[in-house]
Amino acid sequence: MELKVSNLGCRRGELRVLSGVCFTAASGTALILRGPNGSGKTTLLRTLAGLAPPDEGVVEVPPDSIAYAGHSDGIKAQLTVAENLQFWADVFGHDNIEDALDMFGLGPLADRQAQHLSAGQKRRLGLSRLLVTGRPIWLLDEPTVSLDTDSVAIFGRMVGGHLERGGIAILATHIDLGLDAAETLDISRFRATGDDHANPFLDEGFADWGDS
Amino acid sequence: MIALMKRDLQLALRSGGGFGLSLAFFLIVVMFVPFGVGPESGVLARIAPGILWIGALLSCLLSLDRIFQLDYEDGSLDLLTTAPLPMEGIVAMKALAHWLTTGLPLTLAAPVLGFLLSLPSEGYLWIFLSLAVGTPALSFLGTFGAAITVGLKRGGLLLSLLVLPLYIPTLIFGAQSVTLVVEGQTNTSAFLILAAISLFTFALIPFAAARALRVNLR
């Protein structure tokens, strides 16, 4: 299994952010996306996750293999920790949430309403959701935000274990997670150049004119 | 998808979920009408079906922007999109959950409120039936509006403007199917058209709303 991206162009709204992105991530490897703020890390991850259609190029990925974790954790404040996790487990067709709870030490908090969690605890709950998806490719956008050092270490081990089981992880992060099989990709070199504010209507309307 | 339905119902019933808001609004609107137009039972009886329907429609409108907006804000909608559920199924479940938490309570409360408006006795059965058949269409049409306006900050006004014109046929045939019975005429055609509108929205809205959601999530 591998994730193959060739000549990918991404758009955020009307703005072209990236173009010509090429990389391959094989089973058991992690790819760390680097780049200054606003360089398109989130846009790239959203495009890979299928939330935004690619502007050009293709993403070759086995169907139903991607688990995406963005800036927000998708936690419902009125539900308890266990109910939140159980919901995602049901959606992805898993029945065991105990392992996922134990991974980040959320067991004692299982019956607490999510609105009473701290920011770091919410993030831990959001990350433990990845374990109940059972998906092989993890797309993680700034996963370590608001985690303490211990939790970051646990998270590093969690991703490491995922890679050992043959998974793939693509992370946008600035923190060293101590992953052995990690490659770094600096995406600032894929920055789209030229007509930043291309108007799709006019582009399509005048597409034929160039030839005649 | 059952899990999604279960979660939505759970959220609606927990504190701050908004369940009961629509019902309370409906009760208040309908109870204010006798104060406004006076207590003559003849006048009230004539306008009762229309008032009940307009009240149900407005209360339904009240909770529409919650359908997708909360899920959008906390990121669940992104995560649901990447989950192994078809977007059309997500939309249908959301609409159904909205109906169970607003349309169904309104339908059950309407005959009781009909008594307050001195609705003639032959109208009770039909106000119940017409709302039972018609309010699902309100939820589905509203889900479409909510899918179009998701992601807009304070899109409530736009949502109302988009959805209210779509509600007009449901309102006309829903209220007609009660009024005709009260006036001693047959209401078969009005009621069948109402049912047809509902079936039409069930068939079409999930696809249209799913498309709108995908565009909005980009």
Tell me the C-alpha distance between B97 and B10, whole Å: 10
Q: Spell out which residues of chain B touch residue A71, defining contact as CB-CB under 8 Å.
A: 75
Select the residue of A67, A76, A93 nearest B82 (Cβ to Cβ): A67
The chain B residue lying nearest A11, using CA atoms, is B218
Least Cα distance to B217 among A13, A102, A55 occurs for A13
Tell me the C-alpha distance between A143 and A155, whole Å: 9
Alpha-carbon torsion (A155, A160, A163, A164), positive or negative = negative
Tell me the C-alpha distance between B50 and B54, whole Å: 6
Q: What is the ipTM of this complex?
A: 0.84
> Domain span at residue B133?
2-216
Query: What pLDDT does residue A210 have?
Result: 45
Domain count, chain B: 1
The chain A residue lying nearest B213, using CA atoms, is A51
> Are the Cβ atoms of B218 and A70 closer than 8 angstroms?
no
Q: Provide the b/e sequence for B128-146 (b: ≥16 CB within 10 Å).
A: bbbbbbbbbbbbbbbbbbb
Cα dihedral: A159, A157, A120, A145 (round 10): -50
Tell me the C-alpha distance between A11 and B169, whole Å: 40
Q: Per-residue pLDDT tens for A37-65?
A: 888 888 899 999 888 888 888 888 888 88
Most confident region among A85-89, A112-116, B51-55 by mean pLDDT: B51-55
How far off is chain A from B87, nearest CA to CA, in Å? 12
**Mean of pLDDT values over A151-160:** 90
A93 and B CB contact within 8 Å? yes
> Are the Cβ atoms of A52 and B7 closer than 8 angstroms?
no
How far off is chain A from B135, nearest CA to CA, in Å? 27
Q: Per-residue pLDDT tens for A11-36?
A: 887 788 888 888 888 888 899 998 88
SS3 of A5-26: the string is EEEEEEEECCEEEEEEEEEEEE
| C-alpha gyration radius of chain B | 18
Q: Considering only A41-55, A61-75, A91-105, A190-204, which range has the smallest mean pLDDT? A: A190-204
Select the residue of B4, B15, B79 nearest A68 (Cβ to Cβ): B79
How far off is chain B from A47, nearest CA to CA, in Å? 9
> Are the Cβ atoms of A78 and B79 closer than 8 angstroms?
no
How far off is chain B from A79, nearest CA to CA, in Å? 7
Give every CB contact of residue A102 below 8 A, 6+ residues apart in sequence.
Answer: none
- Helices B87-98, B66-73: crossing angle, 10 deg rounding: 120
